[in-house]
Amino acid sequence: MTTPLGSGREWTDPSCPVARTADLVGDRWSLLIVRDAMDGASTFTDFQQRLGIARNILTDRLRKLVDQGVLTTSTLPGGKRHSYELTAAGQDLFTVIVALRQWGERHAFADGESHSTLVDHDGNALSPLRPENRKGNPVTAATTRVRKTPH
């Protein structure tokens, strides 16, 4: 079994996967760093220029994302600068980023207001994400429940 991200830390709600995820990557800057890493940003300068984030905040978030196993770092030739890359766990946040994007497209813009759109390499828009059960049937908050698992 693999060691979970954030192992050994205090959790807001220890038995809730949503709370643990929010504890790990739930702040604005962390999610935007992950988004930009997915879009090709890899250096401190890349992230700072794209986000306009203060250096101290960016340093803190990059460190936390590395410590939490969302990003990995390597030293660039010359030995002074670092490159950041998503780990498998970081890449696994793609669906989360797409879900946030699609929610924002539906609810954070006025009709006709301009915004970016995520497309595949052929220029095709993505289908809306919709949760399904294992039988392929759509589910909603009204048709699901949380089942507590024993320790």
Predicted pLDDT at 60: 96
Task: Decide if pLDDT at 2 tops 90.
Answer: no
Residue 149 lies in a domain: no
Q: Mean pLDDT, the chain, as a whole number? A: 92
Task: Decide if pLDDT at 3 tops 80.
Answer: no
- The tens digit of pLDDT for each residue in 27-45 reads 999 999 999 999 999 999 9
pTM, two decimals, is 0.87
Residue 3 lies in a domain: no
Residue 9 lies in a domain: no
Residue 148 lies in a domain: no
Residue 12 lies in a domain: no
Three-state SS for 81-119 is CEEEEECHHHHCCHHHHHHHHHHHHHHCCCCCCCCCCCE
Residue 146: pLDDT band with limits 50, 70, 90: very high
Task: Decide if pLDDT at 1 tops 60.
Answer: no
Residue 6 lies in a domain: no
Residue 8 lies in a domain: no
Three-state SS for 3-32 is CCCCCCCCCCCCCCHHHHHHHHHCCHHHHH
Domain that holds residue 44: 17-143
- The tens digit of pLDDT for each residue in 96-119 reads 999 999 999 999 999 999 999 999
- The tens digit of pLDDT for each residue in 67-84 reads 999 999 999 888 888 999
What CATH number has the domain bearing residue 113? 1.10.10.10
Residue 2 lies in a domain: no
State the angle between helix axes of 28-38 and 94-107 in degrees (0 to 180), rounded to the nearest 10: 110
Predicted pLDDT at 84: 97
**Which of the two residues, 72 and 9, has the higher pLDDT score?**
72
Number of structural domains in the chain: 1
